[in-house]
Amino acid sequence: MSYVDEVFDMVVEKNPAQPEFHQAVKEVLDSLRIVIEENEEAYRKDALLERLVTPERQLLFRVPWVDDKGQVHVNNAFRVQFNSAIGPYKGGLRLHPSVNLGIIKFLGFEQIFKNSLTGLPIGGGKGGSDFDPKGKSDREVMAFCQSFMTELNKYIGADTDVPAGDIGTGAREIGYMFGQYKRIRGVYEGVLTGKGLSYGGSLARTEATGYGLLYLTEEMLKCNGHDIAGKTVAVSGSGNVAIYATQKAQQLGAKVVTVSDSTGWIYDPEGIDVALLKEVKEVKRARLTEYAANRPSAEYHEGKGVWTVKVDIALPCATQNELHLEDAKALVANGVIAVAEGANMPTTLEATEYLLENGVLFAPGKAANAGGVATSALEMSQNSERLSWTFEEVDSKLKGIMVNIFHNMDDAAKKYGKEGNYVVGANIAGFLKVVDAMTAQGIV
């Protein structure tokens, strides 16, 4: 049996009931086959892949907090410090009822390669909790965040592990967590990114993931003979990534006609009104029905459906496994040119395969959504030098990073005889740097 297959079987056996983690590992290991086989004996002897798929450290803890009625709740919380070969652990905190160890491990594993692709010195980590901020008062969210940080603070720091936002964790939650970290540890340092601008945040971090997604998509289209201007786009989700992806797509001359949330979706043939979307989601924290109620051109549909709309470009920006094989078939039947993942692993393996087989340009999340963490690393740099850069400065660095990521994955795909397969290209390009650093640092 090949080394890759052996390690994959070991992952499934040793990590039961973690299907998302298995899926992420399978995609990466399958892509790496060509590289591993060149050097199989040496890698096997060093247990390189076993070390790559096993987190350096996994923290599991309980978070007790009191609601507004005096009732005590207990949530499960996680921080997986996956790989520190190229820098301090870096990755977001997800607050969503679906969170479990397997989901945090899939996200942490992806983060290793994503962070490597940015070209910046950041290792891979991820954390979160099954706490649901939806429907909670600000005081309840603060109570949770303070209790969460009371435990987490022991394991993080500006030079060791720097968490940030993800699903359910935005500026409000980061603020409460930062305040509690400072209070307990007594140090004012860049231990979290995505901070508010008044206390060490970076301009353009809020926009970065969505903007970065469009910068990479634009470059991918350009290098394949297409212009993004005039294209019709389907976006899923309506959170941080979706909102700023929609905004940048419109700035580049495309028309975004859909957004969604966990209850339904919007079809707006005149193009999504970003100001209204921000008001509904960022200010009122309301549902998309509120958007439809205030926008005569918009249709609201219950359930799922954004991938049934005829578009040129699809940008899944909500969550994992939201674009299935039947969705990929519908997109292809409608003539889609490109799919770029704003979310982490939104496309199932079967759907990805179908899109690639049908000649759709496919940008995997670890490349396409790397603008968020890249700008987090820029926030860390600004905190270290105790300076803040202008919006234009950060935005232009972000654009440079995304264009570079596209070319790195494109070049890697070509070098290994898989031209146009950016899944393979991104995994190989991300892996090579990590492996080089791991090998240089010995058996640790």
Residue 1 tokens read as 């049996």
In the chain, the largest separation of any two C-alpha atoms, in whole Å, equals 64
Is residue 383 within 8 A of residue 158, CB to CB? The reply is yes
- Minimum distance, C-beta of residue 342 to ligand NDP, in the bound complex (Å): 6
How many C-beta atoms surround the C-beta of residue 399 within 10 A?
Answer: 18
- Minimum distance, C-beta of residue 88 to ligand 2IT, in the bound complex (Å): 11
Sole window of 82-90, 295-303, 317-325, 329-337 interacting with ligand NDP (rule: CB under 6 A): 317-325
Known catalytic membership, residue 126: yes
**Between residues 35 and 204, which has the closer beta carbon with respect to ligand NDP?**
204
Query: CA of 213: how far to CAs of 123, 141, 323, in Å?
Result: 21, 29, 17
Length of the chain: 444
- Selected from 167, 220, 252, 315, the binder of ligand NDP by CB under 6 A is 167
- Selected from 240, 246, 258, 427, the binder of ligand NDP by CB under 6 A is 240
156-185 residues in contact with ligand 2IT (CB under 6 A) are 164, 166
Q: What are phi and psi of 41, to 5 degrees?
A: -65, -45
- Is 4 a residue that touches ligand NDP (CB under 6 A)? no
Residue with tokens 């031209």: 419
Q: Which of 126, 255, 281, 399 is catalytic?
A: 126
* Residue 48: CA count within 13 A, CB half-sphere: 25
How many C-beta atoms surround the C-beta of residue 417 within 10 A?
Answer: 9
**Between residues 48 and 266, which has the closer beta carbon with respect to ligand NDP?**
266
258-297 residues in contact with ligand NDP (CB under 6 A) are 261-263
Is residue 80 within 8 A of residue 24, CB to CB? The reply is no
- Is 76 a residue that touches ligand NDP (CB under 6 A)? no
- Minimum distance, C-beta of residue 96 to ligand NDP, in the bound complex (Å): 6
Interface size with ligand NDP, residues (CB under 6 A)? 24
Give the residue among 163, 188, 27 at the shortest CA–CA distance from 95: 163
Sole window of 10-18, 84-92, 258-266, 267-275 interacting with ligand 2IT (rule: CB under 6 A): 84-92
- Is 372 a residue that touches ligand NDP (CB under 6 A)? yes
Sole window of 29-37, 161-169, 348-356, 397-405 interacting with ligand NDP (rule: CB under 6 A): 161-169
**Between residues 165 and 425, which has the closer beta carbon with respect to ligand 2IT?**
165
Residue 17 tokens read as 């009931």
- Is 129 a residue that touches ligand NDP (CB under 6 A)? no
Partner interacting with residue 195 (select from ligand 2IT, ligand NDP, none; CB below 5-8 Å by kind): none
- Selected from 123, 163, 165, 175, the binder of ligand NDP by CB under 6 A is 165
Query: CA of 69: how far to CAs of 131, 137, 160, 228, in Å?
Result: 17, 11, 38, 51
- Is 91 a residue that touches ligand 2IT (CB under 6 A)? yes
183-212 residues in contact with ligand NDP (CB under 6 A) are 209
Give the residue among 74, 258, 263, 58 at the shortest CA–CA distance from 161: 58
Partner interacting with residue 331 (select from ligand NDP, ligand 2IT, none; CB below 5-8 Å by kind): none
359-388 residues in contact with ligand 2IT (CB under 6 A) are 372-373, 376
Query: CA of 137: how far to CAs of 176, 285, 286, in Å?
Result: 13, 11, 14
Query: What amino acid occupies position 179?
Result: G
The separation between the first and the last C-alpha atoms of the chain, rounded to the nearest angstrom, is 26
> What does the alpha-carbon distance between residue 150 and residue 160 come to, in Å, rounded to a whole number?
17
- Minimum distance, C-beta of residue 281 to ligand NDP, in the bound complex (Å): 7
185-214 residues in contact with ligand 2IT (CB under 6 A) are 193
- Selected from 88, 175, 237, 430, the binder of ligand NDP by CB under 6 A is 237
- Residue 80, beta-bridge partner list: 58, 126
DSSP string, 180-199: HHHHHH------SSS--GGG
317 SS3 class: coil
> What does the alpha-carbon distance between residue 195 and residue 370 come to, in Å, rounded to a whole number?
18
Partner interacting with residue 238 (select from ligand 2IT, ligand NDP, none; CB below 5-8 Å by kind): ligand NDP
User: Which active-site residues does the annotation give?
Assistant: 126
Residues at the contact surface with ligand NDP, assessed by CB under 6 A: 96, 98, 165-168, 209, 237-242, 261-263, 317-319, 342-344, 369, 372
Report the interface residues with ligand 2IT, using CB under 6 A.
90-92, 114, 164, 166, 193, 344, 372-373, 376
